[in-house]
Amino acid sequence: SDPNKEGNESITPEPIGGSKRVLMNVELLFPAFGAEAKDKRIGLFTDGGMVWRGDQSVELGDLRYSAGVFFNWFSAIGPLTFSYGVALNDKEDDDTEELQISVGTVFR
């Protein structure tokens, strides 16, 4: 594989990315630690999605889903999110993660 070539392949022959995607997210938010703690909140989430290459047809049966809990903290360095989720319908060759920590924009 040519690492300088354009396209959806990594240095290994495994495909990455795609030109079509479906993404879904639903969150149920709760104030954390009482009404005084406006800089913290907890919640439940469910996510779904999939990415397809341009030559692949979009099949809704390919969608993967996950669900879990999260904690948002609007800290002095920016919003931090700690989440724990489980894949609900992963396939044998899927690369899944249960714990995620992210820094960035969060809707308030």
In a domain, 2, yes or no: no
Domain extent for 91: 20-103
Is the residue at 108 inside a domain?
A: no
Q: What is residue 79's predicted lDDT score, i.e. its pLDDT?
A: 92
One-letter amino acid of 80? L
Question: Domain total for the chain?
Answer: 1
Overall residue count recorded for the chain in this entry: 108
Binned at pLDDT 50, 70 and 90, residue 108 comes out as: low
Q: What is the largest CA-CA distance in the chain?
A: 56
First-to-last alpha carbon distance for the chain, in angstroms, is 44
Q: How far apart are CA 81 and CA 79, in angstroms?
A: 7
pTM for the predicted model, two decimal places: 0.74
> Residue 8: inside a domain, yes or no?
no
Q: Does residue 89 lie within any of the structural domains? A: yes
pLDDT score of 9: 54
59 belongs to a structural domain = yes
* pLDDT tens digits, 15-52: 677 889 999 999 999 877 776 778 888 999 999 999 99
Per-residue confidence band for 80, with pLDDT thresholds at 50, 70 and 90:
very high
* Calculated CA dihedral for residues 97, 103, 106, 108, nearest 10 degrees: 120
Q: Rounded to an integer, what is the distance from CA 32 to the centroid of its chain?
A: 22
